[in-house]
Copies of this chain bind each other. A is one copy, B any other.
Amino acid sequence: MVLGAAEAAVLAFDVGGTDIKAGLVDAAGQVLGMRRVPTPLDAARPAEAILDRLAELAGELAAEFPDIPARAAGVIVPGIVDSIAGIGIYSANLGWRNFPFTAEAEKRFGVPVAFNHDVRSAAAVEHQFGGSKDFDDVVVMVVGTGIAAAVFSGGEAVTAGGFAGELGHALVPDPDAGQGSNGATILEAVGSAGAIAKRYSAKSGTAVDGARDVLARATSGDELAARIWADAVDALAFTICQCVNIIGTEAVVIGGGLAEAGDDLLEPLRARVNGILDFQRRPLIMQAQLGQDAGLLGAALNARRLLSPAQPTPAQPNSAQPKPLNTATAGSRGGAR
């Protein structure tokens, strides 16, 4: 797929809980005019307010690059997303339910829109270019304030109408459960960077500067910090083992802020997973090469697929993707998603 610059340029929007990232991605995969603005929060019309802001950004980019018209747009959002129907089914943080993103975005932008899930789109970039690219059965986990994931089985993205990959809500044993209660909680409440900081602060009565601070304290001999770090590792290992048992996952890619801990996270995690599994195939556990811009590149790839008639399912990331974007901007390790 070789397109002239004008034909191939697309708008890319990565809508997060805090910020929107926007840019014009040209035929060579270069992100032009990238900007980051606060996500507008409007409880009465949450999705419309965001799309209105995206339309303003599209106008700014059109004014800035008058010679590079965008022929399509990619919009990615968190939550539960039905990319085929073009519906944002649910976002806990941003507040919409069953909003027709594709149709409403196309009205505003005047070009075809590929609407999809943020983490699945970023993960498709990771899965296409990163360390897991030679594997068919892969889970990409983005572990930051919360935990989101994309699941690949047999080389294809598992979407299940948008309901797959909710690993942040997978059940894990609750380390704070009362004695003998066998209580369960969700992975996000123990294994996320957000949970590590929050649990340490709550138990120590000391404010900390994120999971990184808790790790530094653990390394200097703080037993509470070490226990909370180990709880997070246990919870992540527990969920990885569920993936192995249910869908035979052979590679797990960990991105997001917590992955910046590198071997302080990955080494104990591998040891824990290997200690739990028995006859099963041991998954490789690796750090993502996802940069902060992987979402934006994923959104652009989704949009570009709309321009390629050879792709029958334009809005679904999968392993059989067209000619890669230039991933130079996605090469930094440990993005802060």
Contacts and interface: CB of A to CB of B under 8 A. Distances in A.
Interface of A: 80, 90, 92, 136-137, 151, 153-154, 156, 158-167, 169-171, 173-175, 177-180, 182-184, 238, 241-250, 276, 278-281
A218 B161 CA distance: 39
A180 B177 CA distance: 7
Contacts of A245: 166-167, 169-171
B242 A242 contact: yes
A93 to B, nearest CB: 12
A160 B242 CA distance: 14
A246 B182 contact: no
B180 A173 contact: no
A48 to B, nearest CB: 21
Given A154-B156, A154-B160, 17 more contacts: A137-B160, A137-B161, A151-B247, A159-B248, A160-B249, A163-B280, A169-B280, A170-B245, A170-B246, A171-B238, A171-B241, A171-B245, A173-B183, A175-B182, A178-B180, A182-B182, A242-B242
Given A158-B154, A171-B241, A238-B171, A163 B246 contact: no
Contacts of A154: 156, 158-160
A153 B185 CA distance: 26
Contact of A248 (B160, B178, B248, B279): B160
Nearest to A276: B171
A171 B242 contact: yes
Given A182-B173, A280-B166, A247 B248 contact: no
A169 B50 CA distance: 44
5 contacts: A137-B161, A154-B159, A161-B281, A164-B246, A182-B182
A238 B198 CA distance: 26
A246 B244 contact: no
A190 to B, nearest CB: 11
Contact of A90 (B169, B241, B279): B279
A80 B174 contact: no
A159 B156 CA distance: 13
A134 to B, nearest CB: 14
A184 B237 CA distance: 12
A167 B246 CA distance: 6
Contacts of A249: 160
Contact of A247 (B160, B169, B238, B241): B160
B182 A179 contact: no
A164 B165 CA distance: 16
A180 B179 contact: yes
A242 B241 CA distance: 11
B238 A246 contact: no
A165 B151 CA distance: 15
